[in-house]
Chain A
Amino acid sequence: MGITQILFWFLSIVAIFSALMVISSKNPVHSVLWLILTFFSISGHYILLNAQFLAIVNIIVYAGAIMVLFLFVIMLMNLNKETEPQKHKWLRIAGAVAGGCLLLVLVAALKDTDIKHQQALVNTGGIGLIKNLGKELFTTYVVPFEISSILFLSAMVGAVVIGKKE
């Protein structure tokens, strides 16, 4: 088992464990912190897949901007206590069973796909580098890129309008 495999399994275990901790910790602040860890491990996977641009963006946008926003909101509302009312026990079990069933069904359905012998190229390959992605983004995908900037603008306006005290 080479260093790549070891890294893969390590990152996977960290991602899954921290994801489980996100949904199981009582304190919302802890959840946010576990989620940041999850995003970091996912970013590690991106680096493993030689998608450096996405790894950096993931950390900056998600772990940095978005999760900080979450953290701000939680602290603003003073929710950093274990005050969250619990759902009914049976409803929680039903939810867990339903999610588990979905996982089982999807795994069973996808375990024999045609592509299961294909490999994802790790460590090498230049498509994930900024040079390639930027070229593609500003030539082929320039219109969606500009539209997404309009989306951002409108989202910003919307957030301000909603968040404004009347």
Chain B
Amino acid sequence: MPINYYIFLSLALFCIGIVGVLTRRNAIIIFMCIELMLNAVNLLLVAFSKMHHNAALLAGDATTIAGTDGQLFVFFIMVVAAAEVSVGLAIIVMMYRNIHSVDVNFLNRLKH
């Protein structure tokens, strides 16, 4: 597949995630949108890794493992995302416990 397609697909998903972050007030939905953006990036990384692999094969190296690091990056991103989700959801739970809402508009203490 042409790499352009993957680029535009990832961009679309990423921007949908951004729009979600911008338009919603529910902290959990915002968090989910962030996960969506991470996944868009992951998809693009895998696509690039296959692109590099393809380029290396075309160059004549039949036993190449070029592009492996791209997929390993995706793996690490998933690790970090999982850790992030656990901490983030804990924070949201605590926030709900304190103000009985997950509305980010109540989180304006930075102002004061």
- B39 engages A42 (CB within 8 Å): yes
Given contacts A87-B23, A115-B51, contact A121 B57 (CB under 8 A): yes
The answer to whether A115 and B3 touch across the interface, beta carbons within 8 angstroms, is: yes
By the criterion CB–CB under 8 Å, are A151 and B16 in contact?
Answer: no
Q: A96–B19 contact, CB under 8 A? A: yes
A163 touching B94, Cβ below 8 Å:
yes
**Cα of A84 to Cα of B27 in the assembled complex, Å:** 10
Interfacial chain A residues near B96, Cβ < 8 Å: 77
Set of chain A residues within 8 Å of B72, measured between Cβ atoms: 133, 136-137, 141
Residues of B within 8 A of A96 (CB): 19, 22-23
Query: Using Cβ atoms and an 8 Å threshold, which residues of chain B touch A98?
Result: 18, 22
Interface residue? B107 (CB, 8 A): no
User: What bracket does the count of chain B residues touching chain A fall in?
Assistant: 35 or more
For the residues of A in contact with B, the DSSP-based class is: helix
CB of A104, distance to nearest CB on chain B (Å): 9
Mask: chain B, 1-30; 1 = CB below 8 Å from A; 0 = not: 111111111011101111111111110110
**B15 cross-chain contacts in A, Cβ below 8 A:** 99-100, 102-103, 106
Residues of B within 8 A of A (CB): 1-9, 11-13, 15-26, 28-29, 31-33, 35-36, 39, 42-43, 46-51, 53-55, 57, 65-69, 71-72, 74-76, 78-87, 89-94, 96-97, 102-103, 105
